[in-house]
C-alpha cells in the first residue's frame, strides 16, 4: 500500500505538499542546511523533559563521531509553546537551568543545524521516531481524582495522521498503567484508519523519561538506567535499537519489560515510593522538633548504612510535576482503565495529602517566631521553585505558603535566583536580594546554591530578622552565626527554636 499524501497541510510553510526532507524544513526556518541522510527524530513536547531529550538525541554520535540524528522539536502553537520554540531556535534552553552541559549541548546542536524547533505538525511526516513528552494532568475538581486525556489523545492522533509507515512512537510521558494499550494504541489505530492504513503501520513503545532537574539535567538522560517495552515485540526491538544510540548503554544497560503496562508501572511505582517515604519522614520531623533532636544529624548517621543511603528528610514541601500526582495514577488506572474499583492505595493517597500540607507546618513555625500573629509582618521567602537549582514552579509548595501567609495578613516578598516569572501566583519574584532592614522573618525554603553559600554577615549588615530554615538550607555555622548576632531562629526537623 502506498503512503497517502498528508490530509493536514503544514501551516508554517503554507503549502499543501508534505515536507520532503530535513534540509527543506531548515530552509523554511531560514537555515541553509545541506542535504542529509540522517534519521529524523521528532520530540513532541518541549518542556523540562522534552527539551533535555531533544538535546540528548541531537548529541548522539555514530562510531565515526558524527551526529546520528536530525532532531525536530515540536510544541503547540500557543504563546508558551512558541516561546519554547523560539528559545531552542536561538540555541538556548527553553527553561531556566544551571546545567552548563545542557545549555552547551543545545547551543552546539543549534550551530550544527541538527536541532530545529517548530509548532508545525507537518514535521512529524519526516520522523522515523517520535518521542512523546506531552503533559498528562491529574484533575482534582471531582469527587475522586481523574486524568484529563484530551491533550494526550490529540497528541497521539496527530502522530497517526502524519508519521510515515514503519515509524516508531515512544511514549515517555508518565501515564496511568494501561494507557499505552488502551488509549495510545487505540487513538493511533483510529488515525491510521483515516489514512486507510492498518493499526500496526506505526509501532508503539513506552520508556519513561529519566530527567532529573538540576545541574545534571543532560547527564540524567544520557547516563542513567532506563526501562522500556513495546506494544508489539517489533516495537520493543525498535525502541531498544533507538535508545541504545542515545543512552550510554555500556555503563547503563537498558531493561526490557514484558509489557507496556509493566513499563508504565515502573515510573508510577518509583515516584509513589519516593513520595511516600518523604511523607513518612514528616512525622519524625515533628517528633524531633518536640523532643529536642536534630533529625538531620540522625539521618546522616543512618545513611552511612548502604541499605539506608537514600533515606529522605522532612522539609518545606513537595512540588513539581511528578511526586504531587504520580502516586494517584495507579488507583486511577485500576478504576478507569481496568474496571477495578476495589483496588485501594491508602499509603499513596495519604502521602500526596501529607506532602501537600507540608508548607503549612513551616507557616505555623513562622507564626510562632513572629509572636503568633502574621498580620502586617513582612516575610521574605527565599526560593519559590519546587526544588533546588531549578527554575520550575509547577506545584511548588511555595504557592501554598504564600497564599496562606497572605490570607493571614502577611506581606510576602519572594526571591529566587532562577525564577523570573511565577505564572501560578501573582507575586513579583526578585532576582536580587532585597535589603533586610524592613523584613521581620526570612524563610529559607529552597537549597539553591546561592543560599547555601550566602554571606549572611554582609547581607544582613546589622539587621536581625527572625530566620526559619525550612529545608535544611543553612549550615550549622550559619545557624550559629544567626544566633550569635541575636536573630530568632527556627528550623524544620530540628529541636531548637527561639519562638
Same domain, 248 and 345: no
Confidence band for 16, pLDDT divided at 50, 70 and 90: very low
User: Can you give the pTM of this predicted structure?
Assistant: 0.90
Asked if residue 68 has pLDDT above 60, the reply is yes
**Which range among 50-59, 221-230, 314-323 shows the weakest confidence by mean pLDDT?**
314-323
Confidence band for 28, pLDDT divided at 50, 70 and 90: confident
Of the two residues 168 and 392, the one the predictor is more confident about is: 168
Which grid coordinates belong to 385?
521553585
Confidence band for 426, pLDDT divided at 50, 70 and 90: confident
d(CA 109, CA 106): 5
Domain that holds residue 391: 279-491
Point out which residues pair with 382 in neighbouring strands.
415, 444
Which of 93-97, 133-137, 214-218 is the most confident on average?
133-137
Confidence band for 20, pLDDT divided at 50, 70 and 90: low
Same domain, 229 and 345: no
pLDDT at 8: 36
In percent, how much of the chain has pLDDT > 90? 82
Give the pLDDT mean for 185-191: 97
Q: Is residue 273 part of a domain?
A: no
pLDDT at 427: 87
Of the two residues 256 and 211, the one the predictor is more confident about is: 256
Domain CATH code at residue 68: 3.40.50.720
Q: Is residue 424 part of a domain?
A: yes
Q: Is residue 474 part of a domain?
A: yes
Alpha helices in 113-247 (DSSP H): 150-162, 179, 185-194, 217-222, 233-246
Same domain, 254 and 304: no
3-class secondary structure for 410-457? CEEEEECCCCCCCCCCCCCEECCCCCHHHCCEEEECCCCHHHHCCCHH
Which of 232, 260, 288 delimits the end of a domain?
A: 260
Asked if residue 71 has pLDDT above 50, the reply is yes
pLDDT at 7: 33
Confidence band for 19, pLDDT divided at 50, 70 and 90: low
Q: Is residue 13 part of a domain?
A: no
For the sheet with 255-256, list strands across it. 115-118, 69-74, 39-44, 129-132, 168-171, 203-206, 227-230, 255-256
pLDDT at 34: 79
Give the pLDDT mean for 470-481: 94
Type and span of the H or E element at 228:
strand 227-230
Same domain, 132 and 180: yes
Q: Per the structure, how many domains does the chain have?
A: 2
Q: Is residue 5 part of a domain?
A: no
Same domain, 33 and 89: yes
Q: Is residue 311 part of a domain?
A: yes
Confidence band for 178, pLDDT divided at 50, 70 and 90: very high
In percent, how much of the chain has pLDDT > 70? 95
Amino acid at each position: 500500500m502506498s503512503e497517502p499524501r498528508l490530509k493536514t497541510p503544514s501551516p508554517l510553510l503554507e503549502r499543501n505538499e508534505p515536507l520532503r526532507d530535513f534540509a527543506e524544513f531548515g530552509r523554511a526556518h531560514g537555515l541553509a542546511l545541506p542535504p542529509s541522510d540522517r534519521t529524523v527524530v521528532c520530540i513532541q513536547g518541549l518542556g523540562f523533559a522534552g527539551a533535555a531529550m531533544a538535546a540528548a538525541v541531537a548529541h548522539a554520535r555514530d562510531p565515526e563521531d558524527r551526529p546520528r540524528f536530525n532532531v525536530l522539536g515540536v510544541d503547540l502553537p500557543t504563546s508558551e509553546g512558541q516561546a519554547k520554540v523560539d528559545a531552542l531556535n536561538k540555541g538556548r534552553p527553553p527553561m531556566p537551568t544551571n546545567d552548563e552541559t545542557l545549555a552547551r549541548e543545545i547551543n552546539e546542536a543549534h550551530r550544527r543545524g541538527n536541532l530545529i524547533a517548530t509548532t508545525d505538525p507537518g514535521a512529524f511526516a519526516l520522523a522515523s521516531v517520535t518521542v512523546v513528552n506531552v503533559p498528562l494532568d491529574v484533575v482534582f475538581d471531582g469527587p475522586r481524582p481523574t486524568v484529563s486525556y484530551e491533550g494526550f489523545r490529540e497528541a497521539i492522533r496527530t502522530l497517526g495522521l502524519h508519521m510515515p509507515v514503519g515509524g516508531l512512537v515512544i511514549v515517555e510521558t508518565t501515564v496511568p498503567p494501561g494507557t499505552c494499550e488502551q488509549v495510545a494504541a487505540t487513538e493511533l489505530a483510529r488515525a491510521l484508519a483515516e489514512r486507510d492504513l492498518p493499526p500496526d503501520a506505526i509501532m508503539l513503545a513506552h520508556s519513561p523519561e529519566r530527567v532529573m532537574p538540576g545541574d545534571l539535567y543532560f547527564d540524567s538522560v544520557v547516563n542513567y538506567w532506563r526501562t522500556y517495552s513495546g506494544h508489539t515485540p517489533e516495537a520493543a526491538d525498535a525502541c531498544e535499537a533507538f535508545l541504545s544510540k542515545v543512552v550510554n548503554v555500556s555503563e547503563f544497560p537498558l531493561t526490557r519489560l514484558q509489557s507496556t503496562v509493566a513499563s508504565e508501572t515502573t515510573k508510577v511505582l518509583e515516584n509513589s515510593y519516593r513520595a511516600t517515604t518523604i511523607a513518612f519522614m514528616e512525622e519524625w520531623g515533628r517528633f524531633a522538633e518536640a523532643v529536642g533532636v536534630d533529625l538531620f544529624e540522625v539521618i546522616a548517621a543512618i545513611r552511612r548504612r548502604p541499605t539506608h543511603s537514600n533515606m529522605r528528610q522532612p522539609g518545606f514541601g513537595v512540588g513539581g510535576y511528578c511526586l504531587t500526582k504520580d502516586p494517584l495514577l495507579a488507583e486511577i488506572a485500576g478504576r478507569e482503565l481496568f474496571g477495578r474499583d476495589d483496588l485501594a492505595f491508602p499509603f499513596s493517597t495519604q502521602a500526596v495529602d501529607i506532602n501537600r500540607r507540608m508548607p503549612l507546618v513551616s507557616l505555623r513555625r513562622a507564626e510562632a517566631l513572629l509572636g503568633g500573629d502574621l498580620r502586617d509582618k513582612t516575610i521574605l521567602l527565599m526560593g519559590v521553585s519546587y526544588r533546588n537549582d531549578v527554575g520550575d514552579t509547577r506545584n511548588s509548595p511555595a504557592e501554598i505558603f504564600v497564599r496562606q501567609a497572605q490570607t493571614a495578613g502577611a506581606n510576602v516578598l519572594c526571591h529566587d535566583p532562577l525564577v523570573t516569572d511565577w505564572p501560578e501566583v501573582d507575586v513579583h519574584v526578585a532576582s536580587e536580594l532585597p535589603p533586610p532592614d524592613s523584613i521581620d522573618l526570612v524563610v529559607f525554603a529552597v537549597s539553591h546554591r546561592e543560599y547555601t553559600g550566602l554571606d549572611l554577615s554582609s547581607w544582613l549588615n546589622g539587621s536581625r530578622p527572625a530566620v526559619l530554615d525550612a529545608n535544611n538550607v543553612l549550615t550549622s555555622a550559619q545557624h550559629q552565626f544567626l544566633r550569635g548576632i541575636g536573630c530568632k531562629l527556627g528550623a524544620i526537623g530540628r529541636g531548637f527554636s527561639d519562638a
